[in-house]
Structure 1
Amino acid sequence: MKYSESPSIEVEIRIAASPEQVWSWLIDVDLPSRFSTEFQGGYWLDDAEPGLGARFRGRNLHPYAGEWETTSTVVGFEPARLFAWAVEDVRNPAGAWRFELIPDGDGTVLRQRGQMGPGPSNLTDIIAKMPDQEEQLVEMRLGEFRTNMLATVEGIKALAEAGPRPEAAGAA
């Protein structure tokens, strides 16, 4: 698969908690840093509250790409249902991410999706140096996404099933 095809990956997990309980964890943009080996943390910019158009900054670390920060903009926001953001340029993002909450009986299915590109990213810089290895690089990167995404949804599951988030307003 080529980067220009905007490859994506999706994972999901069932959680024994309501969509509202899971939601309170999702909108904490720093939370995935507890579980991911790459994402090092994030915070809302301009004292923003989570919502459509709000921006946040994220810090990342990768053994080959080094350290970098990105600014993301919320492009999908439906409480207890959808939280989505574009990385860097909203019209031509370096990546696009989303969490979806699907009611499932007395619980919730949490689905996370990550997409590369179509805009430039650290990976496009690496591909430019090794164009003959593009498909292997993309496949490797999708595997890294999958590993960290699974760790994140499993971590959210454990937190949500342990009970309501203390002071749900602290989810910013």
Structure 2
Amino acid sequence: MLYRDAPTVEVSTLIEGATVDQVWDLVTDITLPTRAAGELESTEWVGDPGVAVGARFRGTNTAEHLGTWVGECEITEVDPGRRWVWQ
């Protein structure tokens, strides 16, 4: 696969026993992935916090052989309670 092919990731799963709002709050919590083992160390909103088209957030990553780097994402699509997309 090549970068110019615009690779994407999409995941769907059924979560029983939770409301749509509860799941949406988890899915859109930009700090949640920092609680899992991995290279993502911290996240923060850039400007006004919240899931909205045009909003930005930043993640700081660290890997032993690569050092530390920062990536900034912009939210490009939001369908509340169903889907949000960032680049």
Mark yes or no: TM-score above 0.5: yes
TM-score normalised by length of structure 2: 0.78
Distance across 1 between alignment mates of 2:19 and 2:5: 35
Aligned to 1:67: 68
Amino acid paired to 1:51: A
Residue pairs, 1:127-138, within 5 angstroms: none
Distance 1:49 1:5, change over 3 A: closer
Which is bigger in relative contact order (C-alpha 8 A, separation at least 6)?
1
Higher alpha-carbon Rg: 1
Deviation at 1:23, TM superposition (A): 0.3
- 1:19 is aligned to 2:20: yes
Aligned to 2:38: 37
Deviation at 1:76, TM superposition (A): 1.1
Would the aligned equivalents of 2:48 and 2:55 in 1 still touch at CA under 8 Å?
Answer: no
Percent identical among aligned pairs is: 34
Cα RMSD (Å)? 2.0
Distance across 2 between alignment mates of 1:71 and 1:56: 6
Deviations 1:94-133 (A, max 9, x none): xxxxxxxxxxxxxxxxxxxxxxxxxxxxxxxxxxxxxxxx
Deviation at 1:66, TM superposition (A): 2.3
Distance across 1 between alignment mates of 2:11 and 2:81: 18
Would the aligned equivalents of 2:54 and 2:76 in 1 still touch at CA under 8 Å?
Answer: yes
Aligned to 1:157: none
- Gaps of at least 5 residues in structure 1 are 87-172
Distance across 2 between alignment mates of 1:76 and 1:36: 28
Larger helix share, 1 or 2: 1
Aligned to 1:84: 85
- Gaps of at least 5 residues in structure 2 are none
Deviations 1:46-100 (A, max 9, x none): 13332111111111123333211011111111211111111xxxxxxxxxxxxxx
